[in-house]
Structure 1
Amino acid sequence: MSLPRLVIAAPASGHGKTTVATGLMAALSRAGHDVSGHKVGPDYIDPGYHALATGKPGRNLDPHLVGEERLVPLLLHGARGADLAIVEGVMGLYDGQIGGEGFASTAHVATVTRTPVVLVVDISHASRSIAALVQGMVAFDPSVRIVGVILNKAGSPRHAGEVVSALESTGLPVLGVLQRDDGIVAPSRHLGLVPAAERDDAAHALDRLAAQIAEKIDLEHLLALARSAPDLEAEPWEASEQISVPSEERPVVAMAGGRAFTFRYAETEELLRAAGCDVVTFDPLTDVALPEGTAGLYLGGGFPEVHAAGLSANAPLRAALRAAVDSGMPTYAECAGLLYLCRSVDGLPMVGALEAEAVMTPRLTLSYRTAIVPADQLTGVAGTRVTGHEFHRTGLVEPVETTPAWLVDGQPHGFGSPTLHASYLHTHWAGHPQMAQRFADAVHAYVPTHLPAETDVSVATRRENVQKRQAQRVPDLTWHGDRELSEGLIDFAVNIHDDVRPEWLDAALRASLDDIGAYPNADAAQHAIAQRHGRRIDEVLPTAGAAEAFGLIARARPWRRPVVVHPQFTEPDVALTAAGHHPEHVLTDPANGFVLDPAQIPDDADLVMIGNPTNPTSVLHPEQSLRRIVRPGRVVVVDEAFMDSVPDERHSLAAITDPGLLVVRSLTKLWSIPGIRAGYVLGSPQLLTELKAHQAPWSVSSVAIAAMIATATPEALAEAAKRTTRIGQHRRVLTDGLTELGIHHVPAAAPYVLAKVGTGAHDRLRAAGYAVRRADTFPGLDDTWVRIAVRRPDTTRKLLATLQIEGPWT
């Protein structure tokens, strides 16, 4: 198989491999290439940045974890559909497993995969000596094909020129020079780089890095070297060929995610899905319950010690997890998952399913391991040999002796039983698919024992009754928050950010008035939006706000069975009805926090429209749940009008390219410009062509075009991150206050909160001087609910004081 590819390596750690490799992935992706990112070794954090740069899952290539024979198949699997693969090395080029004579080194992986190598060299402390260093790297192992050099941390052009001149003797081309202050690196802590998922500024920093790499490195020369890689004689790895499906059921495996649990290999989820499991990600920091129907738990690695306070504070989820583990639900926990299941971490209460305490230690444990299963249990039969690695600075204090999960160097390690596996050892299931099979078999066989047998029936009955009751009402779908306002009322009804607009945005809007003498041309906005999301230009359609987008979608096709997931923004219903369609409603259940159950979507629905985060519930649906409803023959529209208010835009589908997916965005809310109808649609060129056929000429005004361009710049993205942080802080004031008052509210991800205050509360608040959004105009809600917009703390506290005085509100 033909696959252009390069390994980005270095003489040692610290030369800038991650910065350069990730920057190259981002720059090449933004130049229109479909890039896959790979990492030599077991590291989880660098692949997170690779995923951010490429829009594809980051992949690992580690012969210790998966076996040398699987390296090429896994490389081809990860690069499926890509036109280029970039492989970031580990440590120095020839550094591998201690005592292994270079086994699992970057050079080893480059040789097995027959991949050309580009060296990144830090030249900050030398000049001509760099040529000797590079020449030594070339001569050390002639089977490793080094094809070029990138110089990093040059002190000046004169300094760089001296190094370039000396390197002429090696015959290797210098592909680029980065100055000492050019590199953008991720902040580090006790285990290395901070994961991309924990950095609010990660996407913005990557945009700046990509621009610098594109300017300083000869990308065309680099691509030519990548195309010189020989064809690979192997077939891509397939999860379905490694595993069997135990039953026709599709039990749910709840997989820990969010900021505290970022360590897991992409192939793990793929194997579980191939084994007939539905994998649903939950966030132990924010979710108060496990996903509905959970029959198995996967608690991977991450930094629970950093987020211990937040994990500890989520007592409802800790209790749910303890009950699940105690019931015998199959549970796999490695490293962070192990800590989370302990009684405490550094004195803060955790789940308590394991009789052990965890504490931070001054010593880093970092090593490849070979482990043996001591007795038949969840992940293997006695005597099974497994390879893995450890990477942690915590330790367990006097754990109660029990059956260990492993024997490592003859010593017991972790906790093991037929239903529970918890240890510090990280394993790659692509290298040991029998572990995935045994876990999946146990999940398929799991029967809940801690709940009454009739619970599932009662839940289903309750949902059915709720839907029937809600279906009897005909809400006013044309009602909008601005209709709540009148003179003298304090505005908690309109979902527009209450901060002042940045001066640069106002300046851009004023300057756009100079263009109103000509018909508007949205090409520049299309280019800016494409660059902002890493999409091709023909995958972007600027619109006169989200409302126009919904109208275009409604008229695009003669939809047979359009479905709108409710409660949510009603404009899609209005647009579909105006186009002559009869949209069907799928109602999410308040009993489980209005979270989408993909199984609710009718199989023959050819159009599905859903908000994320949803208005008015403020629920942020997991990316995996949304992707489960995408299928051939169906168009899924995700309204991300408030996604720019979510830190890191978690669970956004804006970067996902699928022929049946449309993502609608609006600039109105975060940037406080409701009078300017500015939005856009992201999707496949074919779908956008269908939409554009119904778009009126010049529908996007010059002022809206200026707003689109201005809010897509790196400066704007940095300001957006600040606004998002403030929104989260201000929302916490509101939700904490509602909690103290005993007012039930839905866990919120957007700049508004859905609260259940009781019948008549909406009118009582108006009488007290506050405008909140009535909720009974949304299908699936009644007049006991109101939507409260996030405002500044001083304004919010006044509302909370009124709620306290005017209560009770139930």
Structure 2
Amino acid sequence: MVSAPASGQGKTTVATGLMAALRAAGHEVSGHKVGPDYIDPGYHALATGRPGRNLDPHLVGAERIVPLLLHGAAGAHVAVIEGVMGLHDGRLGTAGFASSAHVAALTRTPVVLVVDIAGQSRSAAAVALGMAAYDAGVDVAGVVLNRAGSARNTAEIHRALERAGLPVLGVVPREDGLFTPSRHLGLVPAAERAEPEQLVARLGERMARHLDLDGLLAVARAAPGLGAAPWDPGREVVAPGGGRPVVAVAGGRAFTFRYAETEELLTAAGCAVVPFDPLTDTALPPHTRGIYLGGGFPEVYAADLAANRALLHDLRAAVRGGVPTVAECAGLLYLAASLDGAPMAGVLPTETAMTDRLTLRYPVATAAADSLLTRAGEQVTGHEFHRTRAVPAAGSPAAWRVDGEATGFASATCHASYLHVHWAGHPRLAQRFADAVHAASPHATAVAPAAGSASARPRGDERVPDPLRHHGDRETGPGLLDFAVNVYEGARPEWLDRALRRSLDRVAEYPDPAPARAAIARHHGREERDVLPTAGAAEAFTLVARLRDWRLPVVVHPQFTEPHAALEQAGHRVTTVLCRPGDGFALDPADVPEEADLVVIGNPTNPTGVLHPAGLVRGLRRAGRLVVVDEAFMDAVPGEPQSLVRERLTGVAVIRSLTKHWSIPGVRAGYVVADPGVIRELAALQPPWSVSTTAVDAMVAACSDAAAADARDRALALARWRDLLADGLRARGFDVVASSAPFVLARLGEGTRPLLRERGVAVRRADTFPGLGGDWVRVAARPPERTRRLLAALDSLNGRAGQGRSPEERHA
């Protein structure tokens, strides 16, 4: 067993690296983890090539620990057990029950202590000796010194341990970064990391250099034999017969938490376990008769899960149709109505959200009623570990009572709760689930109703392969009335056309952005060193993404997706902060993680049109953080209130675009305004001559005195058109978000967008924006006559055609 005096000493690094090193040396290795943790066994599996296993007396009972160890280690030369917390730390109030020391005693396994010696000398020996002497029933066989610094200090500790009678079995020097990626519940799971196999291989090579592998194998060989039979799932459950019904088991990056024995029990009970990925699969596996949704991090992938509407639709139909379904923690969130504002399957009557409070408990739970898995009054042991909260609707039947509190949801066909239960310790749960699966009918993949169906409005929306790169120009086409693209509808001013034509006289020369930089600086009252002209806002977002090795980049959604896409393309894993419909899509600054070093926010935001207060955006600044404000539509807001472009604020970069307001999307013209240090860094990444001569002349012209009056008139016209549009939609009973931008976000209902398209009207689908579903659309502000045509098309869908003009249409 690899254990330690406390958490944070390097157990996972040493244990995983030791497994990989032993395997590379030709040994068959089995990996095990004390406690309920799912993440470390994922790394153990990569290191050993075998399933990672858990040994937890609380979850499975002390009597099953040795049989489960022997089951997991069958055919292996050596078993390596990674401890949990400090060696003697167990369930509170139980004198060390379920601690690493308890498991070591149960399995008669010798212990090697990993001691982080950074910042200490001979005291490390005293700590190790105290750990070894504390419990005579635990054999501490040696020590690995981790994060060793100077050779003199290491030698001092080595001598002290020798005097204490504890051999040193390895000295691992400092090397930060091998296992640093973590989040709110610990390490990032192996399935979510880039090239995890290479990481584990590096760990193995490192431990092979710095550990005494022969000495460690000698310690393992000294362990006495265990006179017990291995655990056998075939002795715990029986197969009812009648074929092998499919149990669909959620996997992929968002659902990585489940015990290997769960699948083994289901297989022994006659089921065929078939994985599916809720992020990428558009339907449940064929002939699904049962669904198992384990744990994971759906809160990290909420926007992507919500964007996979096809699978959510199929899952909803299956669960509501009675397919036996078990959901633990992440599975509960996935079946909820929403997660941090992002629409989920909508099966459970609850909305869920991240909180600041960590729920961590190791309870005995009592079944609240008869259900798919339980009988009223039965007790199980389990664990909870989450930072989300689910608020059930009043009267919802609970799954468990934990510490006197009703929690979860249960029925004859669905069991969902935060409680993780190890079915090896409670095989009757696996048996009941398998029995229900055998008795269920196969699920037929649910297809959304076709256009014109009398039973429901159609979705009719094909899934977008890459939602983050889907733009409004994809929605329109020949013969369609365009409400999808946010380009000002009207003739360009003559002064702008003149400037564009004049630029052609100099296209034989390399472009010079200096005139644009000077004009933009004058226009906003800034210095030229504060300004960087770019090939549209898109280039600016790409430069920001490449600016630094962002540790925790955050994009506030729903938001224009280009910044998110640029960050991912640059290799960053983006954290999404969702603004919620119930709050009018206003940002709660507390939702932004304090450790975020990059925050991207739109103002006004595309597609919601929400204008965030300047004080709120200023308040996002932190030492070491860059706040990027996308003000692409600020020039369409009369007077430009809440803009930060004129303020010299350290740690704030404002990005603007001229393409929409001046009807020149074919001319990529934009710029960044920030403090000179940031501008210098961005400029160093910018390719030479990326800003064309035509874009330079367009920027100069748009910053001229002649442009000021036209800019104000356009903004006022857009505001009138938008208000007319919003009033017309509200008068027809649609939800419309209060907007300050030249568009509105409206909830027209699933399937309305393709029906409008059939009637010759193109609106922008919104389900490609993280946090929004297929019932939302974004509608551009257009002149009154065009708006009336859109409203008439909606009336024809709702059976209102020929009933006369509405008050707002008569006013228009």
Distance in 2 (alpha carbons) for counterparts of 1:178 and 1:81: 30
Aligned residues: 449
The answer for the alignment partner of 2:221 in structure 1 is 227
Distance in 2 (alpha carbons) for counterparts of 1:23 and 1:320: 42
Instruction: Note closer, same or farther for the CA distance 1:359–1:183 as it changes in structure 2 (3 Å cut).
Output: closer
The answer for the alignment partner of 1:174 in structure 2 is 168
* 1:458-496 CA distance string (max 9 Å, x none): xxxxxxxxxxxxxxxxxxxxxxxxxxxxxxxxxxxxxxx
1:345 aligns with 2:339: yes
Amino acid at match of 1:48: G
For the 8 Å contact 1:34–1:54, the answer to whether it is kept is: yes
The answer for the alignment partner of 2:35 in structure 1 is 41
Amino acid at match of 2:351: E
Distance in 2 (alpha carbons) for counterparts of 1:59 and 1:170: 34
Instruction: Note closer, same or farther for the CA distance 1:258–1:451 as it changes in structure 2 (3 Å cut).
Output: closer
Correspondence for 1:374 among 338, 348, 368: 368
The equivalences for 1:295-694 within 5 A come to 295-447=289-441
Distance in 1 (alpha carbons) for counterparts of 2:151 and 2:443: 70
The equivalences for 1:700-779 within 5 A come to none
* 1:437-458 CA distance string (max 9 Å, x none): 0000000001258889xxxxxx
For the 8 Å contact 1:77–1:236, the answer to whether it is kept is: yes
The answer for the alignment partner of 2:265 in structure 1 is 271
Bigger mean CA offset, 355-364 vs 163-172:
163-172
The answer for the alignment partner of 2:208 in structure 1 is 214
The answer for the alignment partner of 2:81 in structure 1 is 87
Distance in 2 (alpha carbons) for counterparts of 1:307 and 1:395: 17
Amino acid at match of 2:402: V
Secondary structure of 1:148's match?
strand
For the 8 Å contact 2:314–2:445, the answer to whether it is kept is: no
Distance in 2 (alpha carbons) for counterparts of 1:252 and 1:176: 48
Distance in 1 (alpha carbons) for counterparts of 2:310 and 2:150: 57
Instruction: Note closer, same or farther for the CA distance 1:450–1:223 as it changes in structure 2 (3 Å cut).
Output: closer
Distance in 1 (alpha carbons) for counterparts of 2:445 and 2:164: 71
Secondary structure of 1:87's match?
strand
The answer for the alignment partner of 1:518 in structure 2 is none
* 1:205-249 CA distance string (max 9 Å, x none): 111111110011110111011000000010000000000111222
The equivalences for 1:175-214 within 5 A come to 175-181=169-175, 184-214=178-208
Correspondence for 1:52 among 46, 49, 56: 46
Correspondence for 1:127 among 121, 127, 132: 121
Distance in 1 (alpha carbons) for counterparts of 2:141 and 2:316: 54
Pair member with larger Rg: 2
Secondary structure of 1:430's match?
coil
* 1:74-120 CA distance string (max 9 Å, x none): 00000011110000000000000010100000000000000000000
The answer for the alignment partner of 1:254 in structure 2 is 248
Distance in 1 (alpha carbons) for counterparts of 2:34 and 2:180: 19
For the 8 Å contact 1:327–1:448, the answer to whether it is kept is: no
Instruction: Note closer, same or farther for the CA distance 1:451–1:394 as it changes in structure 2 (3 Å cut).
Output: closer
Secondary structure of 1:75's match?
helix
For the 8 Å contact 1:356–1:400, the answer to whether it is kept is: no
| Displacement after TM superposition at 1:333 (Å) | 0.1
The answer for the alignment partner of 1:464 in structure 2 is none
| Displacement after TM superposition at 1:154 (Å) | 1.0
The answer for the alignment partner of 2:17 in structure 1 is 23
* 1:362-393 CA distance string (max 9 Å, x none): 01111101111121111111111100000100
Distance in 2 (alpha carbons) for counterparts of 1:401 and 1:316: 30
For the 8 Å contact 1:357–1:399, the answer to whether it is kept is: no
Instruction: Note closer, same or farther for the CA distance 1:129–1:207 as it changes in structure 2 (3 Å cut).
Output: same
The answer for the alignment partner of 1:70 in structure 2 is 64
Correspondence for 1:98 among 92, 97, 101: 92
Amino acid at match of 1:27: A
Distance in 1 (alpha carbons) for counterparts of 2:391 and 2:382: 23
* 1:266-292 CA distance string (max 9 Å, x none): 000000000000000000000001100
For the 8 Å contact 2:247–2:292, the answer to whether it is kept is: yes
For the 8 Å contact 1:344–1:357, the answer to whether it is kept is: yes
Stretches of structure 1 that go unaligned for 5 or more consecutive residues are 1-6, 453-738, 743-810
The answer for the alignment partner of 2:460 in structure 1 is none
The answer for the alignment partner of 1:530 in structure 2 is none
* 1:305-337 CA distance string (max 9 Å, x none): 001111001000000000000001100000000
Distance in 2 (alpha carbons) for counterparts of 1:140 and 1:12: 14
| Displacement after TM superposition at 1:168 (Å) | 1.2
Secondary structure of 2:386's match?
strand
Distance in 1 (alpha carbons) for counterparts of 2:443 and 2:342: 29
Secondary structure of 1:354's match?
coil
The answer for the alignment partner of 1:154 in structure 2 is 148
Amino acid at match of 1:115: T
Distance in 2 (alpha carbons) for counterparts of 1:450 and 1:406: 31
Amino acid at match of 1:123: I
* 1:407-439 CA distance string (max 9 Å, x none): 112221100011000000000000000000000
Distance in 2 (alpha carbons) for counterparts of 1:425 and 1:18: 25
The answer for the alignment partner of 1:280 in structure 2 is 274
Secondary structure of 1:298's match?
strand
Instruction: Note closer, same or farther for the CA distance 1:144–1:449 as it changes in structure 2 (3 Å cut).
Output: closer
Amino acid at match of 1:305: E
Secondary structure of 1:149's match?
strand
For the 8 Å contact 1:178–1:216, the answer to whether it is kept is: yes
Correspondence for 1:144 among 131, 138, 146: 138
Secondary structure of 2:361's match?
strand
| Displacement after TM superposition at 1:73 (Å) | 0.2
Amino acid at match of 1:51: A
Stretches of structure 2 that go unaligned for 5 or more consecutive residues are 447-753, 759-812
Amino acid at match of 1:75: L
The answer for the alignment partner of 1:528 in structure 2 is none
The answer for the alignment partner of 1:14 in structure 2 is 8
Instruction: Note closer, same or farther for the CA distance 1:451–1:316 as it changes in structure 2 (3 Å cut).
Output: closer
Distance in 2 (alpha carbons) for counterparts of 1:180 and 1:447: 57
Bigger mean CA offset, 230-239 vs 158-167:
158-167
Amino acid at match of 2:15: A
Distance in 1 (alpha carbons) for counterparts of 2:230 and 2:176: 37
Secondary structure of 1:214's match?
helix
